[in-house]
Structure 1
Amino acid sequence: MIKMAKSSYRGGGFSLTFRLSLGFTLLITFLMGAVGFSIYVRERNVFINGVVERGWAMVRLVNTVASEAMMSGNYGVLGEVMKDLHADGSILEAVVLDKKGDIMASCGFERGVSARAKDMATAADVRKLTPIKDGKGKVTAVAFTSPISDSGGKSVGHIYILTDFSFVESYLRQTVYNIIFNFVLATLAGLLLARLIIIRAVGRPIKGLLLATERVAIGDFSYKLPVATGDELGRLARAFNAMSGELGVLFNSIKSIVGDMCSTSKLVARHSELFEKESDRMDPDRQTELIKEINSCARRLVRASDQLNSLALQFKTQN
């Protein structure tokens, strides 16, 4: 007797739900990375532009006060303004030079105005911004240099202002740490949520379909898949139930025909054996009756064979 065997193949590699959740997680990771990078670039540009704008605003303020001081010869107000800017942390170093290079006012220099500050100030015929880098190549300060112009637009001196830039680097570094931290959290949360959603939406229906397929593989056509949704998986479940039902009808028909053929074959064998043993003692009428019954059984077998052939033609198989 031929028995339908249950498939024992389990496959290898990662499951479909894991691959789908991994794909969604990679997509979320890419989007989060793009958003984080755009935030970093925007914050960096905002802070750098803020430092630059504030620096030039201080240059304009010192320029106005210094021009008036040079015209009046009173440098007290200029000194107070520069000390106030230095006190609130806006200026690290600053110096105002006249046309000859003499110091009119300064702040922030512990050992006197450095030669570098004087050289940068006197070399500035136009407004100029110079980044100051440390030994590692990081920008730690920004130097603003500009000529001092009087009301007529004539250059009467020079300004050198050094502003702190390290706080911008510190803020941007902290921003990067926050972005990375949120990025990792979002990736882990995305992986977990995507896996839970995919297991519920895809994994369970596929497991149910696998179980139903194994039941059909061992000849059980009574199992029906639950149809919980109207999407592609729901339509697949309905199609599988319809296929299983049609196969059940076909196998029941085959079973009925085979049973009829079996009983008819037994009847033919019994009549043939009886005719062979008692043909010499059997009256002619009885012989005729047995031959008719044998012929009737033979026709039934022919009809059953035709029915089986018709059912077999419904199956498409490869040669």
Structure 2
Amino acid sequence: MAKISYRGGGFSLTFRLSLGFTLLITFLMGAVGFSIYVRERNVFINGVVERGWAMVRLVNTVASEAMMSGNYAALGEVMKDLHADGSILEAGVFDKNGDIVASCGFASGVSAGVKDMATVADARKLTTIKDDKGKVTAVAFTSPILDSGGKSVGHIYMLTDFSFVESYLRQTVYNIIFNFVLATLAGLLLARLIIIRAVGRPIKELLLATERVAIGDFSYKLHVATRDELGRLARAFNAMSGELGVLFNSIKSIVGDMCSTSKLIARHSELFEVDFEKMDPARQTELIKEINSCARRIARTSEQLNSLALQFKTEN
């Protein structure tokens, strides 16, 4: 006989199914949350970078006209507006000799490092500024100032705050994790309720019916409410229970017939044994015929019982 192994420990089928669905929901939610975070991050960072370069182009236009005319009043107003924006930490405009002509946000003057960063670049450049933990805290935009002929007449340096981007992305991650946990718990609860209703109850009814059949009660019938696999299983169980009932009724009838015939043989045999000497030959012959008839009847019922027994498969 083949050995059947059962896995799953002591956990119920409904729990394992709900856990499987929850893990699937968790994986899908994690994938969706990660994609949302990556998209939000890229969109936000690209927005900050595009806004920074737009400001650089604005300053470039005003600074180019100011250097050609020698009037820096408009450039000074632009620098004040940049600093009032809140996202611009520092900004400076340098002439071709490296001298600063307009600035904002420098609390202790322009450092040599900032001057070198701004004046060395001969093309637009973006530099990230990181803290001790490796997080990006600011983004520096540097670009040459070009006149109408495309000749470099100075340089622009602008430092944009990036900490609010990191804060926004961090909050986005927290929100995604929070929603992820809520969705996972809700998915586990809903999946368990749905599976208990759709699978757990029919299986419990089938188990109860099986226990009734095991003790010989073939009258119990399952209620077939659906046409799915569980519904077909319930109909198959009802058909099996009905067939077993018919079979056992046949066996009961045959055994009862054998029992009554055996009693008749026993009674005739006892009568034949007790009254043999007083019995006339005709009566003796009659009793012997009746005993032979009963014996043949028992033989026929035994063959019927054997044919019914052959319908059961007990070995592989």
TM-score, normalised to structure 1, is 0.95
What is the one-letter code of the residue matched to 2:38?
V
What is the one-letter code of the residue matched to 2:261?
T
Q: Distance in 2 between matches of 1:225 and 1:151?
A: 91
For residue 58 of structure 1, the aligned residue among 38, 51, 55 is 55
What is the one-letter code of the residue matched to 1:228?
A
1:79-116 CA-partner distances (Å, limit 9, x unpaired) = 11011111121311011010101111000011111222
Helix, strand or coil at the partner of 1:104: strand
Partner of 2:209: 212
For residue 241 of structure 1, the aligned residue among 238, 241, 249 is 238
Matched, 1:134 2:128: no
* Cα displacement (A) at 1:130: 0.0
Change (3 A) 1:12 1:120: closer
Question: Greater CA deviation, 24-33 or 84-93?
Answer: 84-93
Q: Distance in 2 between matches of 1:257 and 1:103?
A: 117
For residue 108 of structure 2, the aligned residue among 101, 106, 111 is 111
Partner of 2:4: none
Partner of 1:167: 164
Partner of 1:288: 285
Partner of 1:255: 252
Matched, 1:33 2:30: yes
Matched, 1:147 2:132: no
Helix, strand or coil at the partner of 1:92: strand
What is the one-letter code of the residue matched to 1:142?
V
For residue 75 of structure 1, the aligned residue among 59, 72, 77 is 72
1:36-75 CA-partner distances (Å, limit 9, x unpaired) = 0000000000010001101110110011000000000001
* Cα displacement (A) at 1:227: 0.3
Moved segments of 4+, more than 6 Å: none
Q: Distance in 2 between matches of 1:103 and 1:287?
A: 146
* Cα displacement (A) at 1:12: 4.6
For residue 310 of structure 1, the aligned residue among 301, 307, 312 is 307
1:173-209 CA-partner distances (Å, limit 9, x unpaired) = 0000000000000000000000000000000000111
Matched, 1:271 2:268: yes
TM-score, normalised to structure 2, is 0.96
What is the one-letter code of the residue matched to 1:53?
E
1:222-264 CA-partner distances (Å, limit 9, x unpaired) = 1001101000000000000000000000001101110110011
Sequence identity, in percent?
A: 90
Q: Distance in 1 between matches of 2:105 and 2:272?
A: 133
Q: Distance in 2 between matches of 1:91 and 1:195?
A: 53
Q: Distance in 1 between matches of 2:162 and 2:222?
A: 67
Change (3 A) 1:225 1:94: same
Partner of 2:294: 297
Partner of 1:224: 221
* Cα displacement (A) at 1:303: 1.1
Helix, strand or coil at the partner of 2:221: coil
RMSD over aligned Cα atoms? 1.0
Change (3 A) 1:239 1:291: same
Q: Distance in 1 between matches of 2:160 and 2:93?
A: 15
What is the one-letter code of the residue matched to 1:45?
N
Q: Distance in 2 between matches of 1:241 and 1:36?
A: 48
What are the ranges of 5 or more consecutive residues in structure 2 without an aligned counterpart? 1-7
What are the ranges of 5 or more consecutive residues in structure 1 without an aligned counterpart? 1-10
Q: Distance in 1 between matches of 2:127 and 2:115?
A: 14
Partner of 2:3: none
What is the one-letter code of the residue matched to 1:144?
F
